[in-house]
Amino acid sequence: MTTGGRGSQPEDAHETPLDSAVAGAFQAAASGKILTANLILARMLGSVSPADLIAASTDFGERLCSDPELRLELRRLLEVRGVVRDFEVPVEQTDGGTRWLSVNARAVRDGNGNILRYEGTAADITERSRAEEALRTNLERFQALVANSAEEIVVADADLKLVYLSPSVAHASGYSLEERAKLDALATVHPDDRAIVESYLQEALERPEQPLPFQVRLLRVDGSCRWVEGVVTNLLEQPRIEGIVINYHDITERKRAEEQHQLLAAELLQAQKMEAVGRLAGGVAHNFNNLLTAISGYAELALAGLPVDSDVRADVEEIKRATERAATVAHGLLAFSRRRVSCRESLDLNEIVSEIGMLLRQVIGENVELKTILAPGLKPVEADRSQLEQVIVNLAMNARDAMPEGGTLTIETANLNLSEQLADFDNSPESGRYVALTLRDTGIGMDEETLAKIFEPFFTTKDANHGTGLGLSTVYAIVEEAGGCTLVESQPNEGTTFTIYLPESDSPA
């Protein structure tokens, strides 16, 4: 390390053979004052030469370490243990910077154990510490990034044991990381989605390095469900990861919006379908009704012109009766298509139910028992009387068809005050005051698939002689026109309940 040039300087008198070492080297008195040093050490400690360093050195390690506490620690270690290894100390530089030295030193003692002197070496590890510091900062930054990310990260080993969970997993699931780590990998997956997740993991195992996208439902600690979307990637062969990495984020809100959107679209489609069929049916029924009027008029005229004892009289009367029956069908269609002008008045539903009781008994036959539960003080509703009768008769006829072996039809009325919307779907009644009319049968009931279609015109599960599929679509249209709504509850073999909500009217019946 020494050069000829330096040899001419006076300080060189203090240079020792230690100068040829790569590290800084020193000997110090028991007091800590440096006695000898090589040039490298002198430079490390900011002196131009060993002599300069020795002249400036007074106290123990004062030049060697700029941190007083570390200095005491260094001295204590040397006194107690006699030796220190890789002891890292900061050295302040005249330019304000700090260098880091790694010191190895020992205490040399006399026969009585008294310390004669210290000697040791020092290596400059500033660059290494800087690199370590940078690495630490980087690591901390990545940890903070992962911890503060909304993205949840889970790493599993080849046996699907969880080996890493990002803090966001705890935040989003409600489980503490310790709790979650103890559970099975699939424990928080919605039971219906476990098979899918298993197949994703299987696929990941078979296709290393391929990111596989997924959408599944997860359960929070309180049992509630959330949708997440993410990717699973098999990085078992990546030396730095050696795991199956699953990262995902919450999409519950988006899913909810999508579902709402689909529901609305379906409802709109249904409404449009009803509207279109209604128009068509109304148009046909209107023309048909005009023709019927002509047929029945001419039948009337023919009857009037026939002798009382004519052979054909009975036949013509049959024609007249048939036109009357046909007119009922046409009127049903017109009511459904809302072409008929309804005549609205304030009505007492109890009165209507009582009045058509006789007719209803005939409709339902002897096998079916009719029970009526009429609420006292029932509020009036605003509607067309004959239309409301038609609603009750249509529902009663369906109830009869659903109870071929007999049963009970219960008709009930009630005043209702809904403080909030009854259910979270479009056609459910808003908050307000209603009169409810319920028809409950003990019949065969309906499955989901049938229930979804019953209000569609021409939907029927009955054969051509028994069903037109117009009963419920007419009920639906009449009730809607009166500002109300029709709800139905049913299950196969559990009977059926239709409830009609009509807004309470202000004017007395």
Whole-number Å distance between alpha carbons of 118 and 121: 10
What's the burial of 94, exposed, middle or buried (CB within 10 Å: 0-12/13-18/19+)? exposed
Find the shortest distance in angstroms from Cβ 403 to ligand ADP: 8
| Residue 348 interacting partner from ligand ADP, Mg ion, none (CB closer than 5 to 8 Å by kind) | none
| Residue 444 interacting partner from Mg ion, ligand ADP, none (CB closer than 5 to 8 Å by kind) | ligand ADP
- List, in order, residues 6 or more apart from 372 with CB less than 8 Å away: 353, 354, 357, 410, 411, 412
Q: Which residue is nearest to ligand ADP (CB)?
A: 471
Q: Are 496 and 445 in contact, with CB atoms under 8 Å apart?
A: yes
Find the shortest distance in angstroms from Cβ 426 to ligand ADP: 21
Using the contact rule CB under 6 A, the part of the chain among 153-161, 174-182, 190-198, 466-474 near ligand ADP is 466-474
Strand bridging mode 162-165 / 83-92: unpaired
Residues of the shown chain interacting with Mg ion in the complex, contacts defined by CB under 5 A: 398, 471
Q: Which of 36, 173, 438, 460 binds ligand ADP (CB under 6 A)?
A: 460
Nearer to Mg ion, 329 or 416 (CB): 329
Is 443 a binding residue for ligand ADP by CB under 6 A? The answer is: yes
User: DSSP labels for 100-161?
Assistant: EEEEEEEEEE-TTS-EEEEEEEEEE-HHHHHHHHHHHHHHHHHHHHHHH-SSEEEEE-TT--
Find the shortest distance in angstroms from Cβ 474 to ligand ADP: 8
CA 20 and chain centroid, separation: 71
Find the shortest distance in angstroms from Cβ 391 to ligand ADP: 11
| Residue 436 interacting partner from Mg ion, ligand ADP, none (CB closer than 5 to 8 Å by kind) | none
Is 246 a binding residue for ligand ADP by CB under 6 A? The answer is: no
Phi and psi at 443, nearest 5°, equal: -90, -155
What's the burial of 232, exposed, middle or buried (CB within 10 Å: 0-12/13-18/19+)? buried
Is 469 a binding residue for ligand ADP by CB under 6 A? The answer is: yes
Give me the 470-499 binding string for ligand ADP, x by CB under 6 A, dash otherwise. xxxx----------------------x---
CA-based end-to-end distance of the chain: 118
Is 446 a binding residue for ligand ADP by CB under 6 A? The answer is: yes
Give me the 383-412 binding string for ligand ADP, x by CB under 6 A, dash otherwise. -----------x---xx--x----------
Whole-number Å distance between alpha carbons of 480 and 387: 12
Per-residue three-class SS string for 454-497 = CCCCCCCCCCCCCCCCCHHHHHHHHHHHCCCEEEEEECCCCCEE
Nearer to Mg ion, 230 or 471 (CB): 471
Is 173 a binding residue for ligand ADP by CB under 6 A? The answer is: no
Find the shortest distance in angstroms from Cβ 474 to Mg ion: 9
Find the shortest distance in angstroms from Cβ 498 to ligand ADP: 7
Whole-number Å distance between alpha carbons of 93 and 290: 112
- Side chain identity at residue 330, one-letter code: A
Strand partners, 504: 381
Is 333 a binding residue for ligand ADP by CB under 6 A? The answer is: no
Nearer to ligand ADP, 149 or 497 (CB): 497
Q: Which residues bind ligand ADP (CB under 6 A)?
A: 394, 398-399, 402, 441, 443-446, 450, 454, 459-462, 467-473, 496
